[in-house]
A and B are shown apart, each in its own frame.
Chain A
Amino acid sequence: MKNLLIAALFGVISTSVLAGESTFEISIKDHMFSPAELTIPAGERVKLIISNDDASPEEFEGEDFDIEKVIPGNSKGTVFVGPFEPGRYEFVGEFHEATAKGALIVE
Protein backbone atom coordinates (compact mmCIF):
# COMPACT_ATOMS: atom_id res chain seq x y z
CA MET A 1 0.00 0.00 0.00
CA LYS A 2 2.77 2.41 0.98
CA ASN A 3 4.65 1.50 -2.19
CA LEU A 4 1.57 2.23 -4.22
CA LEU A 5 1.26 5.66 -2.64
CA ILE A 6 4.91 6.41 -3.28
CA ALA A 7 4.55 5.20 -6.85
CA ALA A 8 1.47 7.36 -7.35
CA LEU A 9 3.29 10.38 -5.96
CA PHE A 10 6.25 9.80 -8.26
CA GLY A 11 3.87 9.40 -11.15
CA VAL A 12 2.34 12.81 -10.52
CA ILE A 13 5.76 14.43 -10.22
CA SER A 14 7.07 12.78 -13.38
CA THR A 15 4.15 13.80 -15.54
CA SER A 16 4.27 17.38 -14.31
CA VAL A 17 8.03 17.86 -14.54
CA LEU A 18 8.60 16.18 -17.85
CA ALA A 19 7.09 17.64 -20.88
CA GLY A 20 8.67 18.51 -24.17
CA GLU A 21 11.62 16.15 -24.63
CA SER A 22 12.09 14.93 -28.14
CA THR A 23 10.91 11.35 -28.46
CA PHE A 24 12.54 8.52 -30.42
CA GLU A 25 11.42 4.99 -31.02
CA ILE A 26 13.36 1.74 -31.23
CA SER A 27 11.65 -1.53 -31.94
CA ILE A 28 12.77 -5.09 -31.33
CA LYS A 29 11.84 -7.79 -33.81
CA ASP A 30 13.37 -11.27 -34.06
CA HIS A 31 15.77 -10.22 -31.28
CA MET A 32 17.20 -7.36 -33.35
CA PHE A 33 16.92 -3.62 -32.91
CA SER A 34 15.49 -1.42 -35.57
CA PRO A 35 16.95 1.01 -36.24
CA ALA A 36 20.17 -0.59 -35.07
CA GLU A 37 21.75 2.86 -35.08
CA LEU A 38 19.64 5.76 -33.87
CA THR A 39 20.82 9.34 -34.23
CA ILE A 40 19.85 11.63 -31.35
CA PRO A 41 20.82 15.25 -30.60
CA ALA A 42 23.73 16.01 -28.24
CA GLY A 43 23.27 17.93 -24.99
CA GLU A 44 19.62 17.07 -24.68
CA ARG A 45 17.48 14.81 -22.55
CA VAL A 46 15.79 12.38 -24.92
CA LYS A 47 12.82 10.09 -24.42
CA LEU A 48 13.25 6.60 -25.88
CA ILE A 49 10.23 4.44 -26.45
CA ILE A 50 11.33 0.85 -26.88
CA SER A 51 8.72 -1.45 -28.32
CA ASN A 52 9.32 -5.16 -28.17
CA ASP A 53 7.45 -6.82 -31.04
CA ASP A 54 8.74 -10.27 -30.13
CA ALA A 55 6.68 -12.59 -27.97
CA SER A 56 9.48 -13.03 -25.43
CA PRO A 57 10.84 -10.43 -22.99
CA GLU A 58 14.07 -8.54 -23.66
CA GLU A 59 16.34 -6.51 -21.40
CA PHE A 60 17.45 -3.20 -22.89
CA GLU A 61 20.86 -2.44 -21.43
CA GLY A 62 23.26 0.43 -22.12
CA GLU A 63 26.91 -0.55 -22.56
CA ASP A 64 28.24 3.00 -22.51
CA PHE A 65 25.42 4.56 -20.50
CA ASP A 66 23.47 3.44 -17.46
CA ILE A 67 20.12 2.04 -18.48
CA GLU A 68 18.72 -1.36 -17.60
CA LYS A 69 15.14 -2.15 -18.41
CA VAL A 70 13.17 -5.32 -19.08
CA ILE A 71 10.63 -4.95 -21.89
CA PRO A 72 8.08 -7.76 -21.76
CA GLY A 73 6.95 -9.39 -25.01
CA ASN A 74 4.60 -7.42 -27.25
CA SER A 75 4.80 -4.28 -25.14
CA LYS A 76 6.47 -0.89 -24.86
CA GLY A 77 8.65 0.78 -22.28
CA THR A 78 9.95 4.32 -21.85
CA VAL A 79 13.39 5.42 -20.70
CA PHE A 80 15.08 8.81 -20.56
CA VAL A 81 18.67 9.09 -21.73
CA GLY A 82 21.27 11.85 -22.01
CA PRO A 83 22.16 14.64 -22.24
CA PHE A 84 25.19 13.08 -23.96
CA GLU A 85 28.35 14.46 -25.48
CA PRO A 86 28.63 13.70 -29.21
CA GLY A 87 29.79 10.14 -29.82
CA ARG A 88 28.68 6.55 -30.14
CA TYR A 89 26.88 4.86 -27.23
CA GLU A 90 26.26 1.15 -27.59
CA PHE A 91 23.42 -0.85 -26.15
CA VAL A 92 22.38 -4.51 -26.21
CA GLY A 93 19.41 -6.72 -25.55
CA GLU A 94 20.86 -8.70 -22.70
CA PHE A 95 18.59 -11.72 -23.11
CA HIS A 96 19.71 -12.20 -26.74
CA GLU A 97 23.08 -10.50 -26.81
CA ALA A 98 24.28 -12.39 -29.88
CA THR A 99 21.84 -10.62 -32.21
CA ALA A 100 20.37 -7.72 -30.24
CA LYS A 101 23.01 -5.00 -30.64
CA GLY A 102 22.58 -1.32 -31.36
CA ALA A 103 23.99 2.14 -30.79
CA LEU A 104 22.90 5.69 -30.18
CA ILE A 105 24.74 8.09 -32.48
CA VAL A 106 24.85 11.41 -30.67
CA GLU A 107 25.44 14.42 -32.89
Chain B
Amino acid sequence: MLSSAVIVFREVLEAALIISILMAATCGLPGRTRWICAGLFAGLSGACIVALFARSITGAFEGTGQEIMNAAILFTAVLMLAWHNIWMSHHAKELVAHLKNVSAKITDGTLPLYFLTVASGMAVLREGSEVVLFMYSVAASGSSTTSMLSGSLIGVAAGVLVGRLIYSGLLRIPASRLFQITGWMILLLAAGLAASAAGYLIQAGILPYEPPLWNSGSLLSEKSVVGQLLHILVGYQERPTAIHLAFYLGTLGIILAGMQWVHRRSQNRFQSA
Protein backbone atom coordinates (compact mmCIF):
# COMPACT_ATOMS: atom_id res chain seq x y z
CA MET B 1 0.00 0.00 0.00
CA LEU B 2 2.81 2.38 0.92
CA SER B 3 4.74 1.65 -2.26
CA SER B 4 1.77 2.51 -4.46
CA ALA B 5 1.13 5.66 -2.42
CA VAL B 6 4.73 6.76 -2.99
CA ILE B 7 4.64 6.06 -6.73
CA VAL B 8 1.39 7.94 -7.25
CA PHE B 9 2.49 10.78 -4.97
CA ARG B 10 5.63 11.27 -7.06
CA GLU B 11 3.59 11.44 -10.23
CA VAL B 12 0.93 13.78 -8.84
CA LEU B 13 3.37 16.16 -7.17
CA GLU B 14 4.54 17.94 -10.31
CA ALA B 15 1.05 18.75 -11.55
CA ALA B 16 -0.04 19.77 -8.04
CA LEU B 17 2.89 22.17 -7.64
CA ILE B 18 2.50 23.73 -11.09
CA ILE B 19 -1.20 24.32 -10.55
CA SER B 20 -0.83 25.73 -7.05
CA ILE B 21 1.90 28.12 -8.18
CA LEU B 22 -0.27 29.21 -11.13
CA MET B 23 -3.20 29.74 -8.75
CA ALA B 24 -1.08 31.94 -6.49
CA ALA B 25 0.48 33.72 -9.46
CA THR B 26 -2.92 34.76 -10.79
CA CYS B 27 -4.41 35.68 -7.43
CA GLY B 28 -6.99 38.41 -7.93
CA LEU B 29 -7.44 37.77 -11.62
CA PRO B 30 -11.16 37.46 -12.37
CA GLY B 31 -12.19 34.03 -13.64
CA ARG B 32 -8.80 32.44 -13.15
CA THR B 33 -10.17 29.52 -11.14
CA ARG B 34 -12.54 28.65 -13.96
CA TRP B 35 -9.76 28.71 -16.57
CA ILE B 36 -7.48 26.56 -14.42
CA CYS B 37 -10.23 24.08 -13.51
CA ALA B 38 -11.13 23.71 -17.18
CA GLY B 39 -7.50 22.77 -17.81
CA LEU B 40 -7.57 20.32 -14.91
CA PHE B 41 -10.58 18.46 -16.26
CA ALA B 42 -9.33 18.54 -19.84
CA GLY B 43 -5.99 17.21 -18.61
CA LEU B 44 -7.64 14.42 -16.61
CA SER B 45 -9.80 13.31 -19.53
CA GLY B 46 -6.79 13.59 -21.82
CA ALA B 47 -4.77 11.42 -19.43
CA CYS B 48 -7.39 8.66 -19.62
CA ILE B 49 -7.40 8.85 -23.42
CA VAL B 50 -3.60 8.74 -23.56
CA ALA B 51 -3.59 5.74 -21.21
CA LEU B 52 -6.17 4.03 -23.40
CA PHE B 53 -4.01 4.49 -26.49
CA ALA B 54 -0.73 3.91 -24.67
CA ARG B 55 0.14 0.92 -26.79
CA SER B 56 -0.13 2.72 -30.12
CA ILE B 57 1.60 5.83 -28.74
CA THR B 58 4.54 3.79 -27.44
CA GLY B 59 4.75 1.93 -30.72
CA ALA B 60 4.77 5.11 -32.81
CA PHE B 61 8.04 6.47 -34.24
CA GLU B 62 9.80 3.13 -33.91
CA GLY B 63 9.00 2.76 -30.22
CA THR B 64 9.82 6.32 -29.17
CA GLY B 65 6.34 7.84 -29.54
CA GLN B 66 5.94 8.28 -25.78
CA GLU B 67 9.11 10.39 -25.48
CA ILE B 68 8.09 12.56 -28.42
CA MET B 69 4.64 13.08 -26.94
CA ASN B 70 6.07 13.89 -23.49
CA ALA B 71 8.51 16.36 -25.01
CA ALA B 72 5.70 18.02 -26.99
CA ILE B 73 3.53 18.26 -23.84
CA LEU B 74 6.39 19.74 -21.84
CA PHE B 75 7.35 22.26 -24.52
CA THR B 76 3.70 23.36 -24.78
CA ALA B 77 3.62 23.85 -21.01
CA VAL B 78 6.86 25.86 -21.19
CA LEU B 79 5.35 28.06 -23.89
CA MET B 80 2.26 28.73 -21.78
CA LEU B 81 4.28 29.51 -18.65
CA ALA B 82 6.43 31.88 -20.70
CA TRP B 83 3.29 33.53 -22.01
CA HIS B 84 2.01 33.87 -18.44
CA ASN B 85 5.18 35.57 -17.25
CA ILE B 86 5.34 37.95 -20.19
CA TRP B 87 1.65 38.79 -19.78
CA MET B 88 2.20 39.40 -16.06
CA SER B 89 5.10 41.76 -16.62
CA HIS B 90 2.50 43.98 -18.30
CA HIS B 91 -0.35 43.48 -15.82
CA ALA B 92 1.25 42.85 -12.43
CA LYS B 93 0.87 46.46 -11.28
CA GLU B 94 -2.87 46.47 -11.90
CA LEU B 95 -3.24 43.17 -10.09
CA VAL B 96 -1.35 44.42 -7.04
CA ALA B 97 -3.56 47.51 -6.91
CA HIS B 98 -6.61 45.29 -7.25
CA LEU B 99 -5.47 43.04 -4.39
CA LYS B 100 -4.92 46.06 -2.16
CA ASN B 101 -8.57 46.95 -2.76
CA VAL B 102 -7.76 50.12 -4.55
CA SER B 103 -10.46 50.49 -7.15
CA ALA B 104 -8.26 49.42 -9.97
CA LYS B 105 -9.58 47.91 -13.11
CA ILE B 106 -7.76 45.09 -14.73
CA THR B 107 -7.52 45.93 -18.35
CA ASP B 108 -7.76 42.81 -20.43
CA GLY B 109 -9.08 41.11 -17.29
CA THR B 110 -12.00 39.76 -19.27
CA LEU B 111 -9.69 38.47 -21.97
CA PRO B 112 -9.67 34.71 -22.34
CA LEU B 113 -6.83 33.30 -20.26
CA TYR B 114 -6.26 30.27 -22.45
CA PHE B 115 -2.69 29.95 -21.31
CA LEU B 116 -3.83 29.08 -17.78
CA THR B 117 -6.07 26.32 -19.10
CA VAL B 118 -3.43 24.88 -21.40
CA ALA B 119 -0.62 25.09 -18.83
CA SER B 120 -2.60 23.31 -16.10
CA GLY B 121 -4.00 20.83 -18.62
CA MET B 122 -0.52 19.89 -19.83
CA ALA B 123 0.70 19.54 -16.25
CA VAL B 124 -2.05 17.02 -15.49
CA LEU B 125 -1.90 15.23 -18.84
CA ARG B 126 1.66 13.96 -18.72
CA GLU B 127 1.87 12.50 -15.23
CA GLY B 128 -1.85 11.77 -15.12
CA SER B 129 -1.64 9.24 -17.90
CA GLU B 130 1.11 7.42 -15.96
CA VAL B 131 -1.03 7.34 -12.84
CA VAL B 132 -3.93 5.91 -14.85
CA LEU B 133 -1.65 3.25 -16.36
CA PHE B 134 -0.24 2.41 -12.95
CA MET B 135 -3.70 2.03 -11.43
CA TYR B 136 -4.73 -0.11 -14.38
CA SER B 137 -1.63 -2.23 -13.84
CA VAL B 138 -2.58 -2.66 -10.19
CA ALA B 139 -6.18 -3.52 -11.00
CA ALA B 140 -5.10 -5.98 -13.68
CA SER B 141 -2.59 -7.84 -11.51
CA GLY B 142 -5.39 -8.99 -9.23
CA SER B 143 -3.35 -9.44 -6.05
CA SER B 144 -3.87 -7.06 -3.11
CA THR B 145 -5.77 -4.75 -5.43
CA THR B 146 -7.74 -3.01 -2.70
CA SER B 147 -4.75 -2.03 -0.61
CA MET B 148 -2.77 -0.92 -3.68
CA LEU B 149 -5.65 1.18 -4.98
CA SER B 150 -6.26 2.78 -1.59
CA GLY B 151 -2.52 3.47 -1.49
CA SER B 152 -2.85 5.20 -4.85
CA LEU B 153 -5.67 7.35 -3.53
CA ILE B 154 -3.56 8.29 -0.51
CA GLY B 155 -0.82 9.27 -2.96
CA VAL B 156 -3.19 11.52 -4.91
CA ALA B 157 -4.49 13.10 -1.70
CA ALA B 158 -0.95 13.71 -0.40
CA GLY B 159 0.05 15.37 -3.68
CA VAL B 160 -2.98 17.65 -3.64
CA LEU B 161 -2.32 18.47 0.03
CA VAL B 162 1.28 19.54 -0.67
CA GLY B 163 0.02 21.72 -3.53
CA ARG B 164 -2.57 23.25 -1.22
CA LEU B 165 0.09 23.97 1.43
CA ILE B 166 2.35 25.67 -1.11
CA TYR B 167 -0.60 27.75 -2.29
CA SER B 168 -1.49 28.88 1.23
CA GLY B 169 2.16 29.60 1.91
CA LEU B 170 2.47 31.75 -1.18
CA LEU B 171 -0.64 33.73 -0.31
CA ARG B 172 1.01 34.86 2.92
CA ILE B 173 3.44 36.87 0.86
CA PRO B 174 2.44 40.56 0.74
CA ALA B 175 0.69 41.47 -2.49
CA SER B 176 3.44 43.84 -3.56
CA ARG B 177 5.98 41.00 -3.56
CA LEU B 178 3.74 38.07 -4.49
CA PHE B 179 3.83 38.39 -8.27
CA GLN B 180 7.55 39.07 -8.28
CA ILE B 181 8.14 35.82 -6.40
CA THR B 182 5.67 33.70 -8.37
CA GLY B 183 7.15 35.17 -11.54
CA TRP B 184 10.61 33.88 -10.58
CA MET B 185 9.16 30.53 -9.53
CA ILE B 186 7.40 30.07 -12.86
CA LEU B 187 10.52 31.18 -14.72
CA LEU B 188 12.64 28.48 -13.03
CA LEU B 189 9.84 25.93 -13.34
CA ALA B 190 9.60 26.56 -17.10
CA ALA B 191 13.37 26.30 -17.53
CA GLY B 192 13.38 22.99 -15.65
CA LEU B 193 10.54 21.60 -17.76
CA ALA B 194 12.38 22.58 -20.94
CA ALA B 195 15.45 20.67 -19.70
CA SER B 196 13.25 17.64 -18.94
CA ALA B 197 11.77 17.85 -22.44
CA ALA B 198 15.30 17.83 -23.85
CA GLY B 199 15.94 14.74 -21.73
CA TYR B 200 13.06 12.92 -23.43
CA LEU B 201 14.44 13.85 -26.85
CA ILE B 202 17.83 12.46 -25.80
CA GLN B 203 16.16 9.27 -24.57
CA ALA B 204 14.39 8.93 -27.94
CA GLY B 205 17.70 9.34 -29.73
CA ILE B 206 16.63 12.58 -31.42
CA LEU B 207 19.08 14.80 -29.58
CA PRO B 208 22.60 13.45 -29.17
CA TYR B 209 23.67 12.09 -25.79
CA GLU B 210 26.69 13.57 -24.07
CA PRO B 211 28.35 12.46 -20.87
CA PRO B 212 26.89 14.25 -17.82
CA LEU B 213 28.62 17.48 -16.80
CA TRP B 214 28.57 16.37 -13.20
CA ASN B 215 26.99 13.76 -10.93
CA SER B 216 25.64 15.19 -7.69
CA GLY B 217 23.52 12.12 -6.96
CA SER B 218 25.53 11.26 -3.86
CA LEU B 219 25.03 14.78 -2.49
CA LEU B 220 21.36 15.08 -3.33
CA SER B 221 19.50 12.23 -5.00
CA GLU B 222 16.81 13.23 -7.44
CA LYS B 223 14.67 10.47 -5.94
CA SER B 224 14.80 11.89 -2.42
CA VAL B 225 11.94 14.13 -1.34
CA VAL B 226 14.07 17.29 -1.35
CA GLY B 227 15.71 16.29 -4.64
CA GLN B 228 12.36 15.72 -6.24
CA LEU B 229 10.92 19.00 -4.99
CA LEU B 230 13.96 20.87 -6.29
CA HIS B 231 13.72 18.97 -9.56
CA ILE B 232 10.19 20.26 -10.09
CA LEU B 233 10.64 23.74 -8.67
CA VAL B 234 14.02 24.76 -10.08
CA GLY B 235 14.83 21.94 -12.50
CA TYR B 236 17.48 20.21 -10.38
CA GLN B 237 19.02 17.19 -12.11
CA GLU B 238 21.70 15.01 -10.59
CA ARG B 239 23.33 14.15 -13.95
CA PRO B 240 22.70 17.00 -16.39
CA THR B 241 24.36 17.02 -19.80
CA ALA B 242 25.40 20.09 -21.79
CA ILE B 243 22.15 19.80 -23.75
CA HIS B 244 20.01 19.86 -20.58
CA LEU B 245 21.91 22.93 -19.42
CA ALA B 246 21.60 24.66 -22.82
CA PHE B 247 17.81 24.16 -22.85
CA TYR B 248 17.60 25.35 -19.25
CA LEU B 249 19.61 28.52 -19.75
CA GLY B 250 18.14 29.18 -23.21
CA THR B 251 14.57 29.06 -21.86
CA LEU B 252 15.54 31.23 -18.91
CA GLY B 253 17.14 33.81 -21.22
CA ILE B 254 14.32 33.93 -23.76
CA ILE B 255 11.56 34.35 -21.15
CA LEU B 256 13.54 37.00 -19.25
CA ALA B 257 14.16 38.91 -22.47
CA GLY B 258 10.45 38.74 -23.36
CA MET B 259 9.48 39.98 -19.88
CA GLN B 260 11.95 42.87 -20.07
CA TRP B 261 10.75 43.86 -23.51
CA VAL B 262 7.06 43.93 -22.57
CA HIS B 263 7.78 45.65 -19.27
CA ARG B 264 9.75 48.42 -20.97
CA ARG B 265 7.10 48.85 -23.64
CA SER B 266 4.27 49.18 -21.14
CA GLN B 267 6.30 51.66 -19.06
CA ASN B 268 6.95 53.79 -22.11
CA ARG B 269 3.24 53.79 -22.80
CA PHE B 270 2.49 54.96 -19.24
CA GLN B 271 5.02 57.77 -19.54
CA SER B 272 3.80 59.01 -22.89
CA ALA B 273 0.16 58.88 -21.80
The chain A residues found within 8 Å of chain B, CB to CB, are: 3, 6-7, 10-11, 13-15, 17-18, 21, 45, 47, 49, 55-59, 65-80, 82-83, 94-98
Contact = CB atoms under 8 A, between A and B. Distances in A.
A57 B133 contact: yes
Contacts of B67: 69, 79
B61 A58 contact: no
Nearest to A55: B140
B205 interface: yes
B81 interface: no
Contact of B61 (A3, A11, A74, A75): A11
Interface in B185-219: 199, 201-206, 209, 211
A80 B205 contact: yes
Given A10-B61, A66-B239, A95 B209 contact: no
Nearest to B61: A11
A3 B76 contact: yes
Given A10-B68, A70-B54, A59 B199 contact: no
Interface string B36-78: 0000000000000000001100111111111111011101100
A80 B54 contact: no
Interface size bracket, B side? 35 or more
B69 to A, nearest CB: 7
Grouping DSSP codes into helix (H, G, I), strand (E, B) and loop, the B interface class, with mixed when no group exceeds half, is: helix
Nearest to A4: B72
Given A7-B69, A11-B61, A72-B58, A67 B136 contact: no
Given A57-B137, A70-B66, A70-B133, A14 B72 contact: no
A97 B209 contact: no
15 contacts: A3-B76, A10-B206, A15-B62, A21-B205, A45-B205, A59-B134, A66-B199, A66-B239, A69-B66, A69-B67, A73-B55, A73-B137, A75-B55, A77-B64, A95-B134
A74 to B, nearest CB: 8
Contacts of A49: 63
A77 to B, nearest CB: 5
B209 A45 contact: yes
Interface in B57-116: 58-69, 71-73, 75-76
